[in-house]
Amino acid sequence: MGILIALLVLSLLIFVHELGHFLAARLFGVKVERFSIGFGPVVVRKECCGTEWVLSAFPLGGYVKMKGQDDLNPLERSNDPDSYNSKHPWQRIIILLAGPLANLILAFFLYIGVALMGVEDLAPKVGEVLPNSPAALAGIEPGDRILSINDQKIEKWSDLSLIIARSQNRPLQILIDRKGKLLQIIVTPKMMESENIFKERVKRPMIGISPAREIIEVHYSLAQAIPFAFERVVDSSLFIVKGLKNLISGALSPREVGGVITIMDVTAKASEQGITTLFIFTALVSVNLGILNLLPIPALDGGHIIFNLYEWIMRRPPNEEVLYRLTLMGWIFLISLMGLGLYNDINRLLGVQGG
């Protein structure tokens, strides 16, 4: 059942991405010849509204084939009024942006659903206090529950982390509950070193406390869920960009790259944890799909956007030979990246550790 749900989730994300391209193309009068979920041999085919709707044997991907445009043949062109090539570069750019944007919009609505169902978070309860830290010197003790900082209500641990991080080392007035007794404590954060999720040593304002392992469920109203969802989409996007930057710089090992097997496995496990966990993971994968497709790599939406920007600015299309060679290089890079992900996936399944 988990594998079936994972397949349905991936198919949904692909469908939404390609639907974005499809709707934008039709908005500008471009004929969409084929809308395919999957690659390889056709399993189901249906002709409707001038488009061939296809479900193919390998559902781990998909594409929209517009008249005069073919990723496998970048030199294909058509000058008919309903072709992709006949449209102005800015219109083509919107068509290309629509796919990734659709994924980000889907993630936004999934996060709204998560917020309305309830989000698990750490309670704003102190677990440990570092010796000689600002918190220790101010008198904060393990077990203290933080109620507010500078009169801002604290409902979960991430609230206080954000306020402290943005404090710029200014004094903070903290209201705590210590076994039913309310106390006001003034604490001035200082720059301290910690390890982020990428195992990098970073400095940021801290007061020297860590959370108790008390889990709470936070529910949001619709008005609160909208900014929550927006922040989650932005944070997820920045997380993916940061990961790509670290991968390129070498700070993140290529062994950390996962492929479709990892995505399927984690999606299946997320489905077993409940609908909220599945929504969160689906939203994250949707953001991932949107951001990765915006990379300036030929054969991806981002690469096509660069080509169209060039045509718009220079008032002439890119040289066909250069376009062909760059697209070929883009496909080689993508296939190599997928191969690396598959190789890492197989090693994980076999329990092989990288050297």
Give the residue numbers marked as catalytic. Answer: 18
Token couple for 307: 């080509």
**CB under 8 A, 24+ apart: contacts of 50-56:** 51/22
Residues 119, 61: Cα–Cα separation, whole Å = 31
Which tokens is 286 given? 């949707």
For residue 109, report the phi and psi dihedrals to the nearest 5 degrees: -70, -30
Q: Both tokens of residue 136? A: 């220790």
C-alpha span between 99 and 24 (Å, rounded): 9
Fill in the amino acid letter for 186: I
CB-side neighbour CA atoms (13 Å) of 282: 30
CA pair distance 163, 247, nearest whole angstrom? 30
